[in-house]
Amino acid sequence: MFNKKRLKKAISEYKNQFVQNRWVNEKYKWEAVKQFQDNWYINADDFATMLKRSLSKTGNLLTSRNNFPGNMIIEFADIVPEKVRSMFSELFDETKDVYRRIDNFKQQSNILLETYRNDAAQHYQNENAISTYLWLRYPDKYYIYKFSEVKAVSNELECDYSFKRSAYEDNIRNFFALYNEICEELKKDEELRATLASHITGDCYSDFALKTLTIDVGFFISRYLHHNKTNTSLEEWEPKEYTPGLSVADWEKLLHNREIFTKSSLEIMKRMVDSGGKSTCLQLALKYGESANFYNLGSSSLAKRIYHKTNCPVVLRDNGKIKWWPVLYVGKEAKKDEEGSFVWKLRDELAEALKKIDLTHIKLYTKEITQEKTVSNMEGKETYTKQNFLNDVYMNENEYNRLVGILKKKKNIILQGAPGVGKTFTAKRLAYSLMGEVDDNRIEFVQFHQNYSYEDFMMGYRPVEDGFALKYGIFYRFCQRAANHPDQDYFFIIDEINRGNMSKIFGELLMSIESDYRGKQVTLAYNGMSFTVPERVHIIGMMNTADRSLAMIDYALRRRFSFFNMEPGFDSEGFLKYQQQLANDRFNKLIGQIKELNQEIMADKSLGKGFCIGHSYFCNASDCSEEWMQDIVDFDILPMLSEYWFDELEKLQRWEEKLHGVFK
């Protein structure tokens, strides 16, 4: 995927400089990893101090002129340690896609900035900084990503990988692929490996996978080979070179897009027509209720929304003077003042379009709604509406409306019903419909059992090498994640909720999960820290009413939940449509027998409607074959009936004959 001869030449030059002066200047990278590995402990009592100590040898990797990601994340940790702890816990969760983790870390940093440091220019937690954290934590897997650097390496090695400013996710994936290939080539160079090994000391990470060496070789290629050839500098960059190429009509159409602009942002834009400069925009932003970073791409959701709509190649350089986003504020009149900073004017086409916008006829959308829609559009998530739910789940519209109303009011609900009514299937799609999109990052799914405990659910001491350590449970981490996005709904789904010892599992959370107590702090027994269940966390439990082995749910917890009965949906509009599409007479006859069977089950005093046969046994048929239907009868329905009527063999035999009679 690249010119190996050019890489070989670059490695030869790197080795020459390595023994002369390079190791002295770059050794700190290996020391930084060792320092992090020796001190990192996610469950440290004093998280902020631990984080500061872990990052103490990163040097200019996390601090440079006008760029302070290390200092900022430590400052956030001092203010809200549990939130930052949760951010790093999610970032280092290797079960999830790395790009999504990076993107989520940035989004949470935006929230921290707006909530706790809206006086700061930005949070600096970009892909470069976040990939540095990943490398420090997993030095045998990750590299440090920097767009300008990997772009230079790609050009110098005549690489086939594409790197474009508008393709963040593709860039990162291509970056990992390219550096993995380079790393494999470095491993083949015995002389280079021996040279590195001879310089590694006790205060350095061993780097047996050569990932840190690969980072340094990439830096060398971009800085000392490619840069010297191109001889470019930041001062040569002119903002007018970057344009979205939109006409007045294009801008006018974009300005009417409520998924991008709020009324307040349009007010600011209109007042920028005849003025310019950072101070003016800052004053207007604060006046109209926007973030102080309204004009800055690094932390402005508006800027990102416009960027994704226009695909303008926004430049994010290290030089703070050109951190502005040129999609809006760079025009032909942009120039430098006496101090060398750019004075910004709106683009001519944009300014002209703004003159045509009448704000009196524009509905004021809430920031919350706008942000939710934007996140969905930016990330390309599939939308999911009420109609999607009704198409997927065989429930009528009135039942759906009641279900949604109960969940929104109570916050906690248990879907109870017979086997096969689709409780689990419904729970997840109910969450999707309330979120308005398919976003599994905001859903957590667990299954209770007899041995499930508070330690699994919230926190508890677990054995480690040298004793015991406090570990956080799944619900604790989930609530921390939700707290970082107070404007979004989160859903915690519990299967077989009545199989667990509810009071034992929930502990002091019995009060916190009540809708009236959401957002209020309780003191946790294990660590004495305060904890809240966020207001927009919803708990959905599922309970099988046909399981005789289970005791009734704890009464103390029962009043914290509403109970919604789910019944077989054979007569729902969705199932009837599905049945009609199959167009199979034998299937229709079988469903008729099942409906008749359910009538008898409901009339049985020892059973009742909680033991009916659900519709989900008969769903999702790609081929409505006789074999498929017989398998359902023989291996699902009849075994269940034999349990129901174990002491009524005559009734069991009668229904066995009736169901088998469908296939004669």
**Could you report the per-residue pLDDT of 33-46, keeping only the tens digit for each?**
999 998 998 888 89
Range from 50-64, 233-247, 259-273, 465-479 that averages highest in pLDDT: 50-64
Q: What is the pLDDT of residue 294?
A: 53
Region of poorest pLDDT, from 22-31, 159-168, 256-265, 450-459: 256-265
Find the helix or strand (DSSP H, E) in which 294 lies. none
244, pLDDT greater than 80: no
* Residue 552, Ramachandran bin (φ over 0: left; ψ between -120 and 50: alpha; else beta): beta
* Rounded average pLDDT over 641-656: 88
- Give residue-wise pLDDT tens across range 400-448: 999 999 999 999 999 988 878 888 889 999 999 999 998 888 999 999 8
**Whole-angstrom Cα Rg for the chain:** 30
299, pLDDT greater than 50: no
Which pairs from 61-68 meet CB under 8 Å and 24+ separation? 61/29, 61/32, 61/132, 61/144, 62/129, 62/132, 64/318, 65/318, 65/320, 66/318, 66/319, 66/320, 66/323, 67/124, 67/318, 67/320, 68/124
272, pLDDT greater than 70: no
296, pLDDT greater than 80: no
Q: What is the pLDDT of residue 304?
A: 53
| CATH number belonging to domain 386-566 | 3.40.50.300
Percent of the chain clearing pLDDT 90 (strictly above): 24
175, pLDDT greater than 50: yes
Structure token digits, residue 204: 């350095």
Region of poorest pLDDT, from 53-57, 71-75, 416-420, 641-645: 416-420
Percent of the chain clearing pLDDT 70 (strictly above): 74
- The whole-angstrom separation of Cα 472 and Cα 479 is 11
311, pLDDT greater than 80: no
- The whole-angstrom separation of Cα 94 and Cα 580 is 45
310, pLDDT greater than 60: no
Structure token digits, residue 4: 């190996």
Reported pTM: 0.46
Q: How many contiguous H segments (helices) and E segments (strands) does the chain have?
A: 32, 11
* Rounded average pLDDT over 531-555: 75
3-class secondary structure for 568-632?
CCCCCHHHHHHHHHHCCHHHHHHHHHHHHHHHHHHHCCCCCHHHCCCHHHHCCCCCCCHHHHHHH
Which tops the pLDDT comparison, 345 or 47? 47
Domain ranges of the chain: 4-232, 239-377, 386-566, 573-663
- Give residue-wise pLDDT tens across range 582-599: 888 889 999 999 999 989
The one-letter amino acid code at 206 reads S
pLDDT-derived band at 334 (thresholds 50, 70, 90) equals very low
Q: What is the pLDDT of residue 234?
A: 36
250, pLDDT greater than 80: no
Distances, alpha carbon 372 to alpha carbons 260, 299, 376, in Å: 11, 16, 6
Which tops the pLDDT comparison, 28 or 345? 28
pLDDT-derived band at 134 (thresholds 50, 70, 90) equals very high
* Rounded average pLDDT over 301-311: 53
Return all residues near 448 (Cβ < 8 A) that are at least 6 apart.
494, 495, 496, 497, 498, 499, 500, 505
Q: What is the pLDDT of residue 428?
A: 92
3-class secondary structure for 441-485?
HHEEEEECCCCCCHHHHCEEEEEECCEEEEEECHHHHHHHHHHCC
Average pLDDT score over the chain: 78
pLDDT-derived band at 498 (thresholds 50, 70, 90) equals confident
Q: What is the distance between the terminal CA atoms of the chain, rounded to a whole angstrom? A: 63
Which tops the pLDDT comparison, 312 or 415? 415
Alpha carbon 194 to its chain's center: 42
Region of poorest pLDDT, from 101-105, 129-133, 162-166, 508-512: 162-166
Geometric angle at alpha carbon 151, from 147 and 153, rounded to 5° = 120
Which tops the pLDDT comparison, 526 or 604? 604
pLDDT-derived band at 139 (thresholds 50, 70, 90) equals very high
Q: What is the pLDDT of residue 131?
A: 95
pLDDT-derived band at 551 (thresholds 50, 70, 90) equals very low
Q: What is the pLDDT of residue 16?
A: 84
pLDDT-derived band at 368 (thresholds 50, 70, 90) equals very low
- Give residue-wise pLDDT tens across range 107-117: 899 888 888 87
Q: What is the pLDDT of residue 363?
A: 47
Q: What is the pLDDT of residue 129?
A: 94
261, pLDDT greater than 50: yes
